[in-house]
């Protein structure tokens, strides 16, 4: 899993990339390639296309490091968003305007966002959700397994599920835009 980075690290990384430090790109790739690849893979399910999207994400930040603005959020989020955007664009080109393509694109996009949300959420929330996955464990069992109170287990599960529910939202009009694009 790609690790969180402090804002100072993100700003310093951007400066290093702007100076053309190849070592900075290598460090960035080592840290975040699995994140970009995982998100693209969830959307595309094609190894070659996924690898191309991953390379494209890092190629873009190498060519235009100022496309990342540390004041808008962490590098990790920018890379995840870029991988998601590029993978969905590739899927749209591949799927065309065929019947059901808008729904397949929306489903793939939602699943990729959900994966990212789970990997980005704080470890205590992620652990509680993983224990309760599939309805096999209730909040009492989660509390016992994690050594926390029942109330804390319920709180973690509620917050984790609230975060996951945002995976289906499209702040830029995404699902409607997909439908409009395919209509005409």
Residues 6+ apart with CB under 8 A from 95: 101, 104, 105
Query: Average pLDDT for residues 6-21, to the nearest whole number?
Result: 94
pLDDT digits (tens, 9 = 90+) for 65-94: 999 998 888 898 899 889 999 998 898 888
Among 26-30, 68-72, 135-139, 156-160, the minimum mean pLDDT is found in 135-139
Q: What share of the chain is helix, strand, coil (3-state, %, to 5)?
A: 80, 0, 20
Rounded to two decimals, the pTM is 0.65
Confidence of residue 124 (pLDDT cuts 50, 70, 90): confident
């Amino acid at each position: 899993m790609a690790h969180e980075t402090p804002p100072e690290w993100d700003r310093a990384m951007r400066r290093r990339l702007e100076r053309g430090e190849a070592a900075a790109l290598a460090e960035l790739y080592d840290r975040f390639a699995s994140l970009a690849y995982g998100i693209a893979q969830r959307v595309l399910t094609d190894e070659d296309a996924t690898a191309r999207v991953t390379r494209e994400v890092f190629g873009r930040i190498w060519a235009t490091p100022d496309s990342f603005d540390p004041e808008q959020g962490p590098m990790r989020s920018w890379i995840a968003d870029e991988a998601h955007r590029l993978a969905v664009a590739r899927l749209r080109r591949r799927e065309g305007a065929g019947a059901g393509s808008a729904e397949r694109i929306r489903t793939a996009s939602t699943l990729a966002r959900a994966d990212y949300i789970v990997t980005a959420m704080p470890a205590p929330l992620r652990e509680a959700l993983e224990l309760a996955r599939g309805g096999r464990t209730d909040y009492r069992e989660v509390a016992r397994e994690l050594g926390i109170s029942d109330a804390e287990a319920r709180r973690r599960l509620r917050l984790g599920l609230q975060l996951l529910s945002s995976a289906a939202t499209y702040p830029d009009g995404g699902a409607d835009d997909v439908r409009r694009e395919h209509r005409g």
